[in-house]
Structures are given as structure tokens and as C-alpha cells.
Structure 1
């Protein structure tokens, strides 16, 4: 089968590999489209220990063509969107059956764009911070995959005001399409004298970390909740004063979708199915802005790493 591997020289190359066989609790999916995401950048940078050559790709949409021991054969032939541990940039990928979701009737490009970002955004709004009607929400990386979905889920949950933080004016213009009430740049957020960025929020979603995380805590209203779900700023520590949090009723919460999917897959899957239902019903939408051929994956990941993409990029696998 055709597959794109990450080689020892940090380049993605199209090659031929043996077709994988699903193990216990797994399915084999004939991939139509695969989602391209930040994890592919991190793998290339060496942040995850994988043996190379490695078939990357963590999001696949296609049809089930095989089931492993312990998996219901009724899944055979079903259109699905699958979240994988790797291998999605290939004509066939194996995925945990628990992370493979029915996508019958959903456009396959949209099914590929669903990815990890959509259930992550759903959980951040509904199970981590539990946004209530009328609450004020601040979303960092507002133009990113999670950010553009989180604003839609927050709006559906009844949030009263949603502000996004972006890198520049171009990203602000893009993020505005998803329903933010206001958008500020990172520089404006850092300036507490700015009336918009200096307001208090009931919920802050932070994938950045470092000084941004500490600034977010300072912007929390009493009983506000800050959700940490990434560290785009690197490993810069953010020291939290637990006594100060206690006296103001504020909370710092963490969320790791990959860890949750491994330790409590049924809990992660429940949120993912709810998020997928919202996509199918049309109340939220991932935005596919670029489609690449398999041979062009290296360019696609490089553009993502350089911050030159907006919205979701997907890889076309099957004709």
C-alpha cells in the first residue's frame, strides 16, 4: 500500500509498505482523507519518541475494512472517522475501535477535519470548565483548530461574551468568522491597560503556558476556571499560588486528550460522540481550507509549523 513516512532526515516521503493487520480491539480503515495537525509537527521535531521511518498521521476518515479480535463485525463497511496513534497517512490504518466513530452521511473531508481538535474543544467547554449561560470566556490561540471549535461550543452553551486572543490581524479576521464577540492580539492581551484585554473572565482556555498562563489566572473573575491543555510557549514553568486561588475561588484545571483516551477511553469517546453529533447536525463546523496530495505532505507540515496556514489542512489518500 502507499504510505507517507517520516524518515531519519526529518522529511516526509511517499513509499510502499505492507498493509497493517488490526490487533485485539482494533479496526482497519481504508483511508479516504487524513487530517493534518500540530502533532505531526511535534513528531517531526522529535518531541515524541518514535522509531523511524514512521508513518505519522493521527486522524483518518474512511471505511472499516477489517476488525481485530473482540471487535463487532457489524463495523465492517461503515464510514467512520478514527483517531489513531499514528499511521493515518497511508491507504490503510489501524485504530482503536473505541476511538473509531460512525460518520455515515457526513462529508468525508469534514469527517477527516473532525480530528482530535473537535472533541478536545467539546470537553474543554462542557466537561472541564463547564461553561454556564451568560459567562465570559477567553480563548487563546483563537484562530487554531481547538480555538475555532471552542468558540462555537461555548456559544451553543450560552456563553454571554467570548473573546479570542490571536497572533496578528490576519488571524483575527479569520477567527472572527466563528462567532467571537471580540478579538485581541497577544500584545494587547499582555497590556492590562487595554480595556478589552483587561476585563475579567469566568473561563480561560490556555494552550500556551508560561507567562500567558499566569496572566490568564490574573484575568479570572472570582470562581473563574482556567483550563490548561498545551504548552505552545515551551517548557517555561508557571508557578501558581494555591492560597491565592483558594481565597478567590479560582481554579486551574488541566486536560490531556491523548492521556484521557488511553486511561479512560470510554469517557473520551462519550465526549467525542457528542461533538460529532453537533458536527453532523450542523451546529458547529470544522473549516477545511487546504487539501494536499500524499506527495506534498512535507510541504503541508512545513507550512503548518511556520504558521502559514489558517483552518484545517487535510491529506487526500484515496482517489
Structure 2
């Protein structure tokens, strides 16, 4: 079968590889589209060491064509969106039965865009940040895949005010359609917000932005950390200062959750998918690439030149 392979030369190439066979507890999916996500950037940069050759791709949409031992054979033929540990940039991928979700009511392109970003955004707002009716929420990387969904989930949870921080004016114009009450550029953060404080702040940026965000938390506010786009350099947070103000710094790692408590991730993904199917929230697929153009797509994501969600056409 055709697949994109990341090899010892640190390049993505199209190659013929053996079709995978589902093991116990797995399903095999013939892929229509695969989603692009920041994990692809980390694989290419070497931050996530992988065996070579490696078929990347962590999000797939397609139909189940085979099941492994212990999986209901009635799933064969079902159209699904799946979270994978690798292999989605290929004609066929295997995934955990638990993390392959019935995509009824969702078209194939949107199902590919669902990926990890949608359950991540759902959990950031509802499980980790615990947004309550009347809360004020600040979302960094507001025009990205997680950010655009987080704004929608925050509004659905009853947030009274949702503010986004974006890279530039073009991203601000794009993000206005997702329910933000105010958008500011990164260079204007935090000055453009005067003395405003927030109950929940979502931070995938790191570095000085993380420290500035802590300062912007209201008493008993929650800073939710889920990435390090700007820098992997550690940030020191004084627990005594947090204690005196009742503030909290919380982290979320969906990949780790899929390994330690996959049922929790599956429960959140199912709830998020239900909200997507009934149009409470939407995934905005803004770019579609061919398999041969994957390197270009990942570079655009790494450069911050994208907004919304990008996918790759496989079928």
C-alpha cells in the first residue's frame, strides 16, 4: 500500500509498505483523509524520537475494513474518526477499537479534522479548566485548531466572556467567527487588556507568555498548560504565590491520557463528537493537501502560517 514514510534522512517520502493487520483490541481503517497536527512538527524536529522508517499520522477518517480479536465484527464497514499512535498517512491504518469513533452525521473531511484537537479542546474547557457559567476565559493561539474549538466549547459551557490572543491581524480576522468577544495580537498582550483578569487561561505557548498569563489570572483562576510552541525552556512557578491567591497551574497531555486512561479520553471524544454532529460546535477545515505535499503542510504549521485545521487526502 502507499504511505508517507519518515526515514533516516529526516525527509517524508511516498513509499510502498506492507498493509498492517489489526491486533487484539484494534481495528483496521481504510483512510479517506488524515488530519495534520502539531505532533507531526515534533516528530519532524526530532523532539519525539521515533523508529526509522516511520509512517507518521495521528488522526484518520475512513471505514473499518477489519477487526482484531475481541472486537465486534459488526464494526466492519463503519465510518469512523480515529486517534492513532502512528500510521495515518497511509492507505490503511490500525487504531485502538476504543479510540475509533462512529462518525455518523459527520462528513469525511470534518471527521479527519476532528482529530486530537476536538477532544483536547473539550477537555481543556470542561475537564481541566472546569469553565463555569459566567466565567471569563482567555485562549492563546486562538486561531488554531484547538483555539477555535476551545472558544466554542467555552461559550457552550456558559462562559460570559472569551478573549483570544493571536499572532497577527489576519489571524484575528479569521478567529472572529468562533465566538470571541475580543481578539488581541501577541505583541499587544497583555497591555491591550488593561487590568482585566480571567478565571481560565489556556496556554500552549510557554516562556514569558506563561508568566504573563499567571499574572492575568483572577483569584482562584486556573492556568491550563498544554504545550510549548514558543520554547521548551522551563518556567519557574512559585507554589506559595499560587496558594496565597488561590490560583492553580494545571497541565493536560492527551497523548499520555490515551495510554494511561484511554476510556477517559474516549468519553470526552464521544461527547465532543456529539456536539460536533448536532452543530453546537464546528471544525473548520481550511487546507487540504496531497500526500506528496505533507512536508510543506507541516512546515506551514511549524511557521504559524496556518489557521483552523489542515488535512491530507489519502483515498
Q: Which of 282, 298, 302 is the equivalent residue of 2:299?
A: 302
> Are 1:254 and 2:288 an aligned pair?
no
3-state DSSP class of the match of 2:292? helix
Hey, what does 2:56 align to over in structure 1? 56
Hey, what does 1:244 align to over in structure 2? 241
Where in structure 2 are the equivalents of 1:1-319 lying within 5 Å?
1-191=1-191, 194=192, 196=193, 198-318=195-315
Instruction: Give the TM-score, by structure 1 length.
Output: 0.96
Instruction: Give the TM-score, by structure 2 length.
Output: 0.98
Bigger Cα displacement from structure 2, 58-67 vs 208-217: 208-217
Per-residue deviation at 1:197? Answer: 5.3
3-state DSSP class of the match of 2:189? helix
- The CA distance in 2 between the partners of 1:271 and 1:197, in whole Å, is 35
- The CA distance in 2 between the partners of 1:96 and 1:290, in whole Å, is 27
- The CA distance in 1 between the partners of 2:30 and 2:83, in whole Å, is 13
Contact 1:137 1:202 in 2 (8 A): yes
Bigger Cα displacement from structure 2, 154-163 vs 299-308: 299-308
3-state DSSP class of the match of 2:242? helix
Per-residue deviation at 1:97? Answer: 0.9
- The CA distance in 2 between the partners of 1:201 and 1:21, in whole Å, is 49
Contact 2:144 2:306 in 1 (8 A): no
Give unmatched runs, 5+ long, in structure 1.
none
* Coordinate RMSD, CA, aligned: 1.1
- The CA distance in 2 between the partners of 1:32 and 1:43, in whole Å, is 22
Contact 1:139 1:204 in 2 (8 A): yes
- The CA distance in 2 between the partners of 1:12 and 1:188, in whole Å, is 37
Give unmatched runs, 5+ long, in structure 2.
none
- The CA distance in 2 between the partners of 1:15 and 1:280, in whole Å, is 35
